[in-house]
Amino acid sequence: MHTKLLFVFPVLFLAACSKTPGEDDPYLWLEEVESERALAWVEEQNDVSVTYLESLPTFEPFYARNLEIYDSDERFASPSLMGDFAYNFWRDANNKRGIWRRATLESYVAGEADWDVILDIDLLAEEEGEDWVWKGSNCLRPVYRRCLLRLSRGGADAVVVREFDTQTREFLDDGFYVSESKSRLSWIDENNVFIGSDFGDGSLTDSGYPRTSRLWSRGTPVEEAKEVYAGQIEDVAATIYRAWDGDVSYDVVHRTPSFFTADRYLYADDGQHRKIEIPDDSRFYGLFNGQMLLELKSAWKPAEIEYAQGTLMSIDFDAFMAGDREFTTVYVPTDRTAIRSAMTTRDYLIVSKLEDVVGKLTRYEFRDGEWIGTDIPTEPLGTISLVTSSEESNVFFYNYEGFLRPDTLYVANDGGTSAEALFALPAFFDADGMRVEQHFASSKDGTKVPYFIVLPKGFVASGDAPTLVYGYGGFEVSRTPNYSATVGHAWLARGGVYVMTNIRGGGEYGPRWHQSALRENRQRAYDDMAAIAEHLIERDITSPRHLGVQGGSNGGLLTGVMLTQRPDLWNAVVVQVPLLDMKRYNKLLAGASWTGEYGDPDTDDWEFIKKYSPYHNIQKDVKYPKAFFTTSTRDDRVHPAHARKMVARMSEMGHDLLYYENTVGGHAGASDNTQAARIQAMLYSYLWDQLGEE
């Protein structure tokens, strides 16, 4: 689906205790996700919020239009190339859970896809009485007949893995099967896989991911699979996977001591794994025609030459393992550019870049010992996303979109020598007269921080435009121009202003932009967000009465901080699937894996974390805007207790707010189009109620 949904969710709860939260936290019982007491509390909050939000006059029309868009047959099917077929997973009004299907590549490119349904998830869920949500497939090359399918109950990260035959369209009775867990599997051949899973005590890291990797052969109980590698309990995860360079395979042991570092080894049957001596914070793209591709997150001097942070480089892999350290540079970013992603065809390396947060595309060919780059023409002020490629040919697909330009899927031939628009979304809202601008705000330390602003038709700066500011700012994730049908019809078309921020902590300017807001420097991201809000007010775009902010996950932490640090700037705050209790975040679900981003609150790091932790900075005597908190019971990545406890504490203090917890949906917040349509309708109804006319 290419409607770019911003999934969200939502209060009054009175408690007797007003202690400062900590290890004596009076709301620890809300961390018991499915306890009877906690779920009764959730139901009470939901009843209040849903009754209010669904009674607003905007709700029903928003909901109806959302569902119409999300179920629209006018959407195009984004491909995943495997062999001679283009595979696609599709949801619509008749397939709420979705169908997995394929068409010949020839028919797909011709615009006449002869779709053949491989698996119907709605039918499977009905037959098995399970709340199945599709989480993807892993198929054995080069035939792609045997596939390991990942199915989640209710949208959680934990999945059940089952082996499926795409020819017979059946699950194999003697196939590989893994019960619900955050497992990782990689095909070795038809009868063997590497597996990391929950094997009982000591098999998982503190972050809840596999610590060990085993070699599992068909027909043997998974409990008897031989352990071939083990990381440390403090690691994020450890796994082994098989990769390919053409017809040549190689196995990589991948140990992640922290979220941003990894040790890689060439796997050996005798256990004498050979370390690949590259920086532990670098991005290892694997091998391409014998060349190891590497992107540096920090400057590196492996021998005589120092390579700059952000450099994309290569070297003959066999020579490197033999001691050679003379790399060939592919691309060196400037202060204004960054690498977004890369993929390969049979003969070319395709690199998606950002230049002042605008997408660019370049094809590279390795010729006579050097990389020759050729820019591929693309449209301006938009985002380029690499979609899929084939190792058997030089065909690849990419997507272009802008705030006011619907997604367009391009098929590129001969590595992009020629490209043509294959499919495009229809316009789900009338963008006539709207315009997009890019501006830069000066943060507290003087850093220029970019943001995009989308202005509605007939806009005149008068200081009273309802304005929604969206932000993330973490984990080197870039927020770039995107086409959102929901934002378009529910916000822009009704006269709202939309702002996409590119604050530090993200990847908009590469690793330096991310690293400048890590750990003790986290406040910079929050200063950036406040500076953009102030810039909008200074430019007479809006005023605090009409200004709202939205973010989810790490962005939910961001909006939680905006609520507690700068309540004077906003009249609406949307806090989605958030981190908020930064004292206990590392003890909840996958939280231990994020200490590289935020710091470890069980050490002296707490001295800088506690200064912004929203749960620890809420005050009874401060006037806060009426915030909207949302989460999901089935979110097994960011614990729902973050939002639950924040709401309980704020309600105890007498603050007015809204809360909605979806009982399914995982970290995305919704597992089907109906849920997403409803939640989005509640969100935009809240925003207009708070930011619209007096």
Active site residues: 553, 667
CB count within 10 Å of CB 227 equals 11
Exposure string for 550-577, b = 16+ CB within 10 A, e = fewer: bbbbbbbbbbbbbbbbbbebbbbbbbbb
Pick from 163, 164, 178, 171: which is nearest to 225 by CA?
178
DSSP labels, 325-338: ---EEEE---TTEE
The bridge status of strand 572-576 relative to strand 547-552 is: parallel
Token pair 């794994």: residue: 273
Q: Alpha-carbon torsion 643, 649, 652, 653, what sign?
A: negative
Q: Which residues pair with 585 in a beta bridge?
A: none
Token pair 């599992």: residue: 216
> Which strands, in side-by-side order, build the sheet including 261-266?
237-245, 248-258, 261-266, 274-275
Answer whether 299's CB lies under 8 Å from 306's CB. Answer: yes
Q: Tell me the C-alpha to C-alpha distance, in Å, between residue 454 and each of 491, 589, 670.
A: 11, 37, 27
The DSSP code for 296 is -
The bridge status of strand 547-552 relative to strand 467-470 is: parallel
Count CA atoms within 13 Å of residue 42 on its CB side: 28
The DSSP code for 21 is P
Answer whether 363's CB lies under 8 Å from 348's CB. Answer: yes
Residue 19: both structure tokens together: 């202690």
The DSSP code for 223 is G
Helix pair 523-538, 554-565: axis angle to 10 deg: 60
Count CA atoms within 13 Å of residue 514 on its CB side: 22
Q: What is the dihedral of CA 45, 47, 49, 55, to 10 degrees?
A: -170
| Cα(452)–Cα(383) distance, integer angstroms | 13
Provide the CA 422 distance to its chain's centre, in angstroms: 26
Residue 205: both structure tokens together: 């890291």
Residue 374: both structure tokens together: 């050729």
Exposure string for 276-297, b = 16+ CB within 10 A, e = fewer: bebbebbbbbbbbeebbbbbbb
Helix pair 36-53, 641-652: axis angle to 10 deg: 70
Answer whether 488's CB lies under 8 Å from 429's CB. Answer: yes
Question: Which residues touch 518 (CB under 8 Å, ≥6 apart)?
Answer: 505, 596, 597
Answer whether 585's CB lies under 8 Å from 557's CB. Answer: no
Q: Provide φ and ψ at 101, rounded to 5°.
A: -145, 170
Give the per-residue SS3 of 25-53. CCCHHHHCCCCHHHHHHHHHHHHHHHHHH
